[in-house]
Structure formats: structure tokens, C-alpha cells
Amino acid sequence: MLRINDHFLELPGSYLFSEIARKVGAFKEEHPEAQLIRLGIGDVTRPLPEACIQAMHRAVDEMADSATFHGYGPERGYDFLIEAIIRNDFAPYGIEMDASEIFVSDGAKSDTGNIGDILHTDNRVCVTDPIYPVYIDSNVMAGRAGTLDKQGRWSRITYMPCTAENQFVPELPEQPVDLIYLCSPNNPTGTALTRKQLKRWVDYALEHDCLILFDAAYEAFIREEEVPHSIYEIEGARQCAIEFRSFSKTAGFTGVRCGYTVVPQDVCGRTRDGRREKLNPIWNRRQCTKFNGTSYITQRAAEAVYNPEGKQQVKATIDFYLENARIMREGLTEAGLTVYGGVNSPYLWLQTPQGVTSWEFFDRLLHQAHVVGTPGSGFGPSGEGYLRLTAFGNREDCIEAMKRIKNRI
Ligand code: PLP
């Protein structure tokens, strides 16, 4: 009889977004005239940069002619994109990177979810809390998480709370861990680690022989000087960190799909007999076996993000979202609320008023202001008492939502 991977059944249903949809649906039925403003989604709304559109059109024309047609490409990505990535995302920060260390993919969700394929199930996982749910769910599927308790914590996972009390900077773990997930700028809190704060984690990983999985999907939103754009700005990170990048929030590629993962040649793990082995060739083998490359058209579009027009257009879009975030921060503060994030990030992390849970505050916003957010408790136990708003909406909606929150909450 065929056996399934029982670990998939251990996962709780994805309650968060279905419950939001249910509550919003019920509200709309009761109040069909209400003009809802949705500030809960983590998806972009601005169109692709013109430079990317033009590059895609040219690539489509190439595909129409047998002389310039492209079939299967290199699984790891085309050299033209890998070279543009190294030249633009790393060289300006003084980071040297070899082409063999970059793996182009269809996005950071796949890579952060798949990286566990090459790591033993016995590894002890450490996550910051609240968290982008993929890190935990993919470890549950692999059988690394243990059992789920009533507070929503898995028994084999170490949670490092990030709350207002510690300025959203996680403490180092007290018990031994092997695999550490960090995300900066962070989804959902919208806060970012400084160079000094990240260095503590790199030093810890080097000292304890851990691997850091560093998710930099929101790198393009960094505006403050002390926030590093890549973990490889920190000395020693090449020995202990894998970095994930995405074009989704950088250039509006959520529907196009492109990202990349950096696996330095210096990063190693141990075999069952204690030998040190490089992770780079193992990830390469994994990708070449299970992934057939990102489409040529998509990679040409991603390359255009780095040409002079592309850079300017990307910056204009990110500036637009960050201006939304600024307006929202100001509006929420004027409304008497305590708000974090929104400076190096499109996310605003609101503290709910004293004694009000995440879901109660979600209901209050929905019913009194007709604004939809995302309850913080959906991102992990330490998200309780917070609510996430995103700055990806249009300007008028952001302004109107703030007006309503000020007047009605
Ligand atoms: N990492 C984080 C922290 C995210 O918030 C998201 C998307 O919301 C992703 C990764 C997924 O990125 P991609 O669209 O490249 O799969």
C-alpha cells in the first residue's frame, strides 16, 4: 500500500488568509455599500518597469525566429543575468562573487522552501518569531519540526521572539541550533537588522558551525545607511550563509517569477562520517535534477532591471511605495497608534491598543474603518498584539484609509 508523507498532514490548515476572506465576505454581505480598502495583501500593484517590458518584447521576437530561438537554458541561469547580478547587487558593496555561486530561479519562495532538500532532517531549526510562514511549513513537511503545541509552537523548532520589547532584534539562541532563518528587511514586522546586529548572528554561526538562511527579498527597500544590503557585507558570512533574493518586490515580478540564491563556495556542512562537504555542488546537483531553469524571456526582463533606465524605473516604483509607507506611518501615529517598520520596508507593523488581540483589532478596523489588514498572530505566537498593513496600495487608498483610522478608531 502506498504511504504518504504524513508530515504534510501535521500542518494546520492555512487558517490566516481563509479566515480573513471569510470575515471580509461576511462583512460585505452585511454592508454591500461599504468601500473596503485592502491593506492586507503582500502583493505589488504597480506595473512592470518599462525597461523590463521592452526587454520581454525583444526576447519574444527572438523566440519567434529559429535563428535566435532559445530552448532549454542553463539550469543555473544565463551568464548575462548572473553577470548583471554580480556587477550590480554585490560589487558596489565590495563583495566578490563567482558566477558559480549564483543560482537563478523562479523566486525566493521556491528556494527558501526547497533548500531543506539538501540538509539532514536531524538539523535543529531556529526561526525569528513572527515569521514568513514558508520557513516553518517547509520544515514541518520535511519532518524537522516535531509536534505542535497549543500556543502554535513546534517542539523541535527554536523561536526567537521579535517584539517591541527587544526593538525587533532577536536574541541569540540559548540552546544549540544548526539552521537559522533570518529575514531582513523583515516580513511581517517591516524592521531591518543593522550591520552590527547581523554581525552578532554571523559570529554566532561561525562559532557554533551553523548555517544562516538569509532572506533578502526586500533588499530594494533599504534606505538607511547602517542596514546591510547583503549578509556578505559581514565578514565571515561567506563561510556560514546562503542568501535568497527576489525580483518580485524589487521590480514587480510577483506574476513574472524570478529570483536567485547565493550559495558561496566556502559554505560547508558535515557528512554522516564527519567530513566537511561544500553545499554549492550539492545545491547545483539538486537544481539540475529538479529544476529546468527560469524562462529566457523572464531572465531578459530581470537583466533589464539593471540597465540605467531599469534602475531609474525600479527606484521610482520603490520610492512610490515607501512614500505610501511614510504617509501611513504618519497617519497611524497621528491616530495615536504605535507603529513600527515602513522605513526600509513596505510593511507597517501596528501595535494593537492595550488588551486588544490581533483578531479583535482586525475586526475593529474592518467594521469601523472598512480597512482590511492582516492579524499579526497569523505570523507566529509573538505576532499576537500586532497587525500588519502594507504600503503596496494606491496613494488615494492609503490617504483615505489613514483618514478613516484617525476619525473612527
Ligand atoms: N520571502 C519573503 C520574506 C516574502 O515575504 C516573500 C513574498 O511575500 C517571498 C520570500 C517570496 O518571494 P518570491 O515572489 O520571489 O517567491
- Whether 89 and 227 map to the same domain: the answer is yes
Residue 9 carries which side chain, given as an amino acid letter? Answer: L
Evaluate whether 138 touches 116 at the Cβ level (below 8 Å): yes
Q: Residues 39, 108: one domain?
A: no
Q: What is the pLDDT of residue 163?
A: 98
- pLDDT band of residue 14 (cuts 50, 70, 90) is confident
Using alpha carbons, list the distances in angstroms from residue 316 to 44, 253, 328: 14, 15, 18
In tens, the pLDDT along 140-164 reads: 999 999 999 998 999 999 999 999 9
Residues 317 and 270 in one domain: no
Contact 168, 340 (CB under 8 A): yes
Q: If you write DSSP's letter for every residue of 107-165 in order, what string do you get? A: -HHHHHHHGGGGS-TTPPEEEEES--THHHHHHHHTT-S--B-TTS-BTTEEEEE--GG
Do 325 and 388 belong to one domain?
yes
Q: Is 375 in the pocket of ligand 1 (CB under 6 A)?
A: no
Residue 42 CA: nearest ligand 1 atom is 8
Rounded CA-CA distance 108/14 in Å is 20
DSSP β-bridge partners for residue 349 = 340, 388
CA angle 354-173-346, nearest 5°?
50
To which residue does cell 518597469 refer? 49
**pLDDT band, residue 327 (cuts 50/70/90):** very high
Whether residue 274 lies inside any domain: the answer is yes
Are residues 388 and 349 in contact, defined by beta-carbon separation less than 8 angstroms? yes
- Same domain, residue pair 247 and 386: no
- Give the domain CATH number at 87: 3.40.640.10
Residue ending a domain, among 306, 328, 345, is 306
Q: Is the pLDDT of residue 96 over 80?
A: yes
Q: Report the sign of the C-alpha dihedral through residues 316, 322, 327, 328, in that order.
A: positive
Q: Is residue 96 classed exposed, middle or buried when 0-12, 13-18 and 19+ CB atoms within 10 A define those classes?
A: exposed
The H or E element containing residue 240 is helix 237-240
Q: Are residues 163 and 257 in the same domain?
A: yes
* pLDDT above 90 (res 17): no
Domain match, 321 and 298 both: no
- 218-231 average pLDDT score: 98
Residues 158 and 222 in one domain: yes
Number of folded domains in the chain? 2
User: What does residue 94 show for φ and ψ, rounded to 5 degrees?
Assistant: 75, 20
**Mean of the pLDDT values across residues 18-44?**
94
Query: Looking at residue 362, what is its pLDDT?
Result: 98
Q: How far apart are CA 189 and CA 380, in angstroms?
A: 11
State which residues form the domain around 395: 13-47+309-408
From the CB of 249, is ligand 1 less than 6 Å away? no
Cβ(185) – ligand 1 distance below 6 Å: no
Query: Residue 7 domain-assigned?
Result: no
Q: Does 320 fall in a domain? A: yes
Instruction: Give the Cα separation of 313 and 304 in Å (integer).
Output: 10
Domain boundary among 285, 306, 327: 306
In the reported structure, the alpha carbon of residue 400 is separated from the centroid of ligand 1 by a whole-number distance in angstroms of: 28
For residue 59, being part of any structural domain is answered with yes
Determine the pLDDT at residue 41.
82
Domain annotation covers residue 3: no
The answer on 112 and 97 residing in a single domain is yes
- Measured between alpha carbons, how far is 257 from 215 in angstroms, rounded to an integer? 16
- For residues 273 and 156, state if they share a domain: yes
Q: CA 309 to CA 53: how far, in whole Å?
A: 12
Atom in ligand 1 nearest the alpha carbon of residue 186 = 3
Average pLDDT over residues 113-124: 98
pLDDT of 265 reads 98
111 lines ligand 1 (CB under 6 A): no
Domain limit, last residue, from 283, 306, 329: 306
Same domain, 193 and 149: yes
Q: Which of 248, 321, 345, 388 has most ligand 1 atoms within 8 Å of CB, for mutation?
A: 248
Using a 6 Å cutoff on CB, does residue 187 contact ligand 1?
yes
Model confidence pLDDT, tens digit, residues 172-224: 999 999 999 999 999 999 999 999 999 999 999 999 999 999 999 999 999 99
What's the CA gap between 367 and 170, in Å, rounded?
A: 34
Using one digit for the tens of pLDDT, what is the confidence trace for 276-298?
999 999 999 999 999 999 999 99
Model pTM above 0.75: yes
Asked if residue 163 and residue 33 are part of one domain, the reply reads no
Q: Rounded distance, CA 140 to CA 153, Å?
A: 11
CATH number of the domain to which 346 belongs: 3.90.1150.10
- Measured over the CA atoms of residue 360, residue 361, residue 362 and residue 364, the dihedral's sign is positive
217 lines ligand 1 (CB under 6 A): yes
Does ligand 1 come within 6 angstroms of the Cβ of 107?
A: yes
